[in-house]
Copies of this chain bind each other. A is one copy, B any other.
């Protein structure tokens, strides 16, 4: 296959790209990068060559001779390369802008704060224990979800933006997976929960779940 996705089962940025590739109907080879084993395979020379940021995911598209990092950049690239499949970025510029903003509310202002390397730093530098790390993660997730829930009051239908799937849903579902993992209180987020349920009825979302990946533990 010409498309390879280097990722990790529990990385929510990898999870986003898996959902997007499934929704676009693109066959791809999944190459696991173990983020913990042996100090993290993402720090080894072989992976550094693909991605000097030493983070997952990385997409390699051999047809186009491109190696690409950053989940949102990857998803927009795939959306543009295969325009005939379901559009993850809407055609209209106002709607497209709103979708990108909600996706970035998650990808910039929630997810990076509870990333593995950040939790490792909290432990090594400030002696934050497992409970403290979960509290830290929940704090940023709940804060971010509070803003998103308010936005969804004016945009949501079956999905984040009406009845069409978009990049926003592709980002939201993996973030909810993390929220549940860290024990976030979801009671205040009924719209987020409804969208989560609706998305997870779709086989493209189910196949992308962390527990359904070959490197799941």
Interface residues of A (CB under 8 A from B): 51-55, 64, 66, 68-70, 72-74, 76-77, 80-81, 93-94, 96-98, 100-101, 104-105, 107-109, 111-113, 118, 121-122, 125-126, 128, 136, 139, 144, 146-148, 150-151
Q: Complex: how many Å from CA A53 to CA B146?
A: 8
Q: Is the CB of A53 within 8 A of B94?
A: no
In the complex, chain B residues whose CB is within 8 Å of the CB of A66? 94, 97-98
17 contacts between A and B (CB under 8 A): A53-B105, A55-B109, A66-B98, A68-B97, A68-B98, A69-B101, A69-B105, A70-B100, A70-B105, A74-B101, A76-B96, A76-B97, A77-B96, A80-B93, A104-B107, A122-B126, A126-B128
Q: Complex: how many Å from CA A98 to CA B73?
A: 8
Q: Is the CB of A53 within 8 A of B109?
A: yes
Q: Least Cβ distance of A120 to chain B in Å?
A: 12
Known: A113-B118, A139-B121. A108 touches B105 (CB 8 A): no
Ordered nearest first, which 5 A-B pairs have the shortest CB separation?
A53-B147, A52-B150, A73-B101, A73-B100, A77-B97
Known: A97-B66, A101-B73. A109 touches B112 (CB 8 A): yes
Q: Least Cβ distance of A129 to chain B in Å?
A: 12
Q: Complex: how many Å from CA A147 to CA B42?
A: 13
In the complex, chain B residues whose CB is within 8 Å of the CB of A55? 109
Q: Complex: how many Å from CA A41 to CA B25?
A: 45
Residue of B whose beta carbon sits closest to that of A65 = B94
